[in-house]
Amino acid sequence: MLVRPFAALTAATICASCSQWDQPVNIPFIATWQGEPIDCSSEKSALTDLRFYVSNVQLVDAEGQGHDVRFATEMTWQNDAVAYIDLEDGTGSCQNGTADTYDHVLGVAGVREYHGLRFTVGVPFKLNHTNPLTAKPPLDDPDMHWHWRSGYKFLRAGVRTDDDGFWIHTGSAGCQGTVGNITGCTFPNRIEVVLPDFVVGEDAVSIDLTELLTGVDLDDATRSDCSSGPPEESCLAPFAALGIDFTTGEQNGAQRVFSVQ
Amino acid sequence: MKRTFTLIAAVVAAALVFVWFARDPAWDWSLPGEVPAPQVPADNPMSSAKVELGRWLFYDIRLSGNETMSCASCHIQALAFTDGVSRSIGSTGVAHPRSSMSLVNVAYASRLTWANPLLDRLEDQALTPLLGDRPIEMGLRNGVQRFGELLRSEPNYSELVRQAFPGDADPHSMLNGVRSIAAFVRTINSFNAPYDRYMRGDAQAMSESAERGMDLFFSERLECFHCHGGFNFTDSTTHAGNDVDRVGYHNTGLYNLNGVGAYPADNTGLFDMTGEPRDMGRFKAPSLRNIAVTAPYMHDGSVATLEDVIANYERGGRRIEDGEQAGDGRLSPYKSEFISGFELSAGERADLLAFLESLTDDSVLTDPRFSNPFVR
C-alpha cells in the first residue's frame, strides 16, 4: 500500500525529466573553405579528407542546461554512443576516401525549447580501445583506427591547394597499458564544441577548414601533416584552433573550427 | 546383441580418442629441452591448419593494396626475416622511418616493434603493416572486405580457415586471417646456432675466438648483456612460464641533435608514444640472434656493419661530424648508463665479432617449414 504510490510518483518524475522523446533531431554538417563549401573535387583548394566521430550530443535549454540527444541506431553510421560523419566521397583529391558519405546526426530529444548545441568530437574512453575487427558499426572501420597508438582517429581532415597540402589526424595519445588493456591516455585530445545560437531544425554545423589550417603554410611546396604525436610542431596551430592545449591534450579554450551555419 | 554393443562402444571410444587428440591444445614447439615454450594468447591457440594458412598468407602478395608485396617482402627468411635495407619501402614506394625487425623468436618478445609499449600481441601488431597509412606499408585499402573475400574465394584458404576455426559461424574474417599469420610467425624459432650447440655441451661448436668473445660479451667491462641478455639476447623477453612484465627501452647515444639529446623528428622512439622527455631516443634492444645476417643496423638502419656498431659502443655513443644530424651521442643527456664506452684490442674486437657470428642459426634461415609455399 505504501510502495505503490511511491513507485507511481517515481515513474511520473522520470517521465517529467526526460519528457517524451518526441522531438526529432537532425543535425547536418557541411565543410567550408574561405567562406565557401568545399568538397573533394573543388577547384584550386579541395578536401583530401574529412571524417570524424561525434559523441555526447546535447541540446541546450534557455537556462544553459544540456539535454541528451539519443542517436537513432537503425543505421550503420550511428550506435547509441557514437555517430560517424563522413564528408568526403572518395572522388578527386580524396584518394584515401570512400564513396559513402554521412553528413548528419539523426536522433530524438525531449520536447522543449532549445537555444544551443554542444557535442564532443571523439570516441568515449570506454569504447575507444576496442578492436576494430570485432567492434560494432560505426567503430568497425579500420580507416578510422590508429592501430599503433591503440584507439580511434577522432578526426581525419585534409586540404590540398595545387600541389601543396596539409592533413591532420587527431586521437588520444600517450596511452598506458597494452592493446586490449588500455588503462588511460596522457593526451585525451577530444574536441569540445559549444554552439550557443544553434537552432535545431534550421541550422547546420559548419566545419571551417580555413580556421583549422590557420598557421599552416599551404604555399611552401611542402605537404605536411599532424598525427597528434608529442614531437610534432606542425600540430601546435591546428590544435589551438581546436581548443586543445597540445602539451596536455586537454581543452584549454574555445574551438574556432565548428560554427553555426 | 552383445557383440554389436561392444563394436559400437569401441567405435565411440576410438572417435573420442580421435577428437581428444585432434583438439589437444598442446602444440609441439620442437624446442630444445632448456628452452621454455612461448606465450600464446588464450583466444588464438596453435593448430597445424592455422599455421599452414598463416604461412600462405604471410607470403601472399594479394594482402597488399596494389598486390605487389607480402609480409615476406620486408621479412626475408635468408636474412633472418629482415630485408637488408636501412629503411623498408612500402607497397606504394614510401620509405618507412624504421628498419625491418627480425621475426625470429618474436614469439618470445614481451613487446613488439622498435618502440611501441602498447603492442604485446602479434594479432594486434599485424594491423599496422596491413592497414596503416602513415606510412603506407602494405596499404590494404578496404582491408576487412578484401581479406574476407580472399579467404572465401581461394579454395585452399577457405578449407584451411574452416579447419583452423571450427566453432566459428563466419570464419572467413580478417580477424581469423591475422590470427593465422600470428600463429605461423610464432613458429619461426631459432635455438640451433653454434652458440646453442656449444651451450648444450658441444665444445667444438664455437671457435676459441668466439669463446673469448663470449666472455667479453658477458663482462661488466663491455656491459652488452644488460640489454642483450637471456636466452633470446634481449631484455624484452617473456615466455609461457613467466608472469613478470619485462621490457627495456634504451637510448644508445646514436644521435644528439643540437646538443640537447634530440633524435631526428620522424624517429624519436618511445618519446613518440609517451610524450615524456626522458623517453627521447629510447628503442627496444633487439634480439642478437642471427645478427650477422641482418645488416644494416639500429632502428633506422643508419649503421652499415657490425664493426661500426661495436665502434659506436666502444666510443660510448656515435659522433656525427656534420650535416643536419651532427652531434656527439656520447654527450647525450638521455643516454643509457650502460653505454659508458670501453677499449678493445684488435684481437678482442675480432673475438667479439666471432661470438656474434656464432649466434647465426643456418637452420632457421633455410628451414622449409618457414619458406615461401608459392615457390615449388
| CA-based nearest residue to A144, from A88, A105, A199 | A88
| Yes or no, beta carbons of A142 and B143 under 8 Å apart | yes
**Does the bond joining B296 to the residue before it have cis omega, within 30 degrees of 0?**
yes
- Tell me whether B124 touches chain A (CB under 8 Å): yes
B288 inside 8 A of chain A by CB: no
How is residue A249 annotated by DSSP? Answer: T
The residues of chain A scoring below 70 in pLDDT are 1-19, 231
C-alpha distance from B111 to closest chain A C-alpha (Å):
9
pLDDT at residue B9, rounded to an integer:
53
Number of domains present in the structure of chain A: 1
Per DSSP, B141 falls in state T
The C-alpha of B119 sits at a distance from chain A's nearest C-alpha, in angstroms, of: 6
Among B349, B351, B359, which Cα is nearest to B309's?
B349
CB B106 within 8 A of CB B188: yes
| Beta strand extents in chain B (DSSP E only) | 249-250, 283-284, 319-320, 327-328
- Across the interface, do B118 and A229 touch by the CB < 8 Å criterion? no
Question: Rounded to whole angstroms, how far apart are CA atoms A66 and A133?
Answer: 34
Q: Which residues of B touch A134 (CB under 8 A)?
A: 175
Q: Residue B142, class by beta-carbon neighbours within 10 Å (0-12 exposed, 13-18 middle, 19+ buried)?
A: middle
The dihedral built from the CA positions of residue B26, B28, B34 and B39, taken in this order, carries a sign that is: negative
Whether A31 and A39 have beta carbons less than 8 Å apart is answered as: yes
Q: Which residues of B touch A48 (CB under 8 A)?
A: none
| Segment holding A86, helix H or strand E | strand A83-86
Beta-carbon separation of A148 and B132 below 8 A: yes
For B121, the closest chain A residue by CA position comes to A179
* Residues of B in Cβ contact (< 8 Å) with A225: 134
Q: Does B154 touch chain A (CB under 8 A)?
A: no
Residues in B touching A169 (Cβ below 8 Å): 134
What number of other Cβ atoms are within 10 A of residue B62's Cβ? 14
The range of the structural domain enclosing residue A234 comes to 3-260
Q: What's the rounded mean pLDDT across residues B93-105?
A: 97
**pLDDT tens for each residue of B192-208:** 999 999 999 999 999 99
Judge: B132–A187 Cβ closer than 8 Å, yes or no: no
Integer Cα distance of A150 and A142 in angstroms: 11
In A89-180, where do the E strands start and end? Answer: 104-109, 116-121, 155-161, 164-170, 173-178
* Closest A-chain CA to B175: A133
| Residue B131 in contact with partner chain A when CB distance is under 8 A | yes
- The answer to whether A238 touches A212, Cβ cutoff 8 Å, is yes
CATH assignment of B48-190+364-370, among 3.40.630.10, 1.10.760.10, 2.170.190.11, 1.10.260.40: 1.10.760.10
Q: How many beta carbons lie within 10 A of that of residue A36, not counting itself?
A: 10
Q: Which of B251, B166, B221 is nearest to B351 (CA)?
A: B221
Task: Please check the confidence at residue B138 and state whether its pLDDT lies above 50.
Answer: yes
Q: How many CB pairs below 8 A link A and B? A: 72
DSSP secondary structure letter of residue B54? H
Domains of chain B by residue range: 48-190+364-370, 194-362
pLDDT in tens, B243-275: 888 899 999 999 999 999 999 999 999 999 999
Q: What is the distance between the alpha carbons of residues A164 and B1, in angstroms, rounded to a whole number?
A: 87
The residues that bridge with A68 in the sheet, in sequence order, are A58
Report CB contact under 8 Å: B175, A140: no
ipTM, interface predicted TM-score of the complex: 0.86
Return phi, psi of residue B74, to 5°. -105, -5
Give which of A133, A183, A246 to mutate to test B binding, by max B Cβ within 10 Å.
A133
Q: What is the pLDDT of residues B3-49, one digit of tens each?
A: 555 555 555 454 444 444 444 457 999 999 889 999 999 999 999 99
Count of Cβ atoms closer than 10 Å to residue A67 Cβ: 17
Mean pLDDT of B232-240: 96
Q: pLDDT > 90: what percent of chain B?
A: 90
Grid cell at residue B341: 664506452
Q: How confident is the model at residue B242 (pLDDT cuts 50, 70, 90)?
A: confident
**Overall average pLDDT of the B311-321 stretch:** 98
Question: What average pLDDT does the structure give for chain B?
Answer: 93
B residues 160..179 contacting A (CB < 8 A): 173-175, 178
For B273, nearest residue in chain A (alpha carbons): A174
Q: With CB atoms and an 8 Å threshold, state whether B272 touches A187.
A: no
Query: What's residue A210's pLDDT?
Result: 96
Task: Find the mean pLDDT for residues B372-376.
Answer: 93
Of B127, B272, B275, the CB nearest to A142: B127
The predicted pLDDT at position A230 comes to 73
Region B284-303: mean pLDDT is 98
B/e letters for A39-49, b = 16+ CB within 10 Å, e = fewer, are bbebeebbbbb
**CATH topology identical between B48-190+364-370 and B194-362:** yes
Q: Quick one: pLDDT at residue A9?
A: 43
Test A147 with B175 for CB contact under 8 angstroms.
no
Architecture label for domain B194-362: Orthogonal Bundle (1.10)
Closest CA to B341 of B352, B355, B330: B330
Instruction: Round the CA-based radius of gyration of chain B to a whole number and report it.
Output: 23
Q: Helix, strand, or coil here: B71?
A: helix
Report the residue from A96, A147, A232 with minimal CB separation from B127.
Answer: A147
A148 and B128 in contact by Cβ < 8 A?
yes
Distances (CA, A) of B67 to A77, A143, A257, B116, B321: 30, 19, 39, 28, 42
Which sign, positive or negative, has the C-alpha torsion B332, A177, A124, B128?
positive
> What is the rounded CA–CA span in Å between residue B124 and residue B179?
9
Contact between residue B106 and residue B185 where contact means Cβ atoms under 8 Å apart? yes
Q: Is B272 on the interface with A (CB under 8 A)?
A: yes
CB contact under 8 A, A133 and B173: yes
Q: How far is B303 from chain A (nearest CA, A)?
A: 24
Are A178 and B117 in contact (CB < 8 Å)? yes
Which candidate in A148, A232, A244 is best for mutational testing of the B interface (most B CBs within 10 A)?
A148
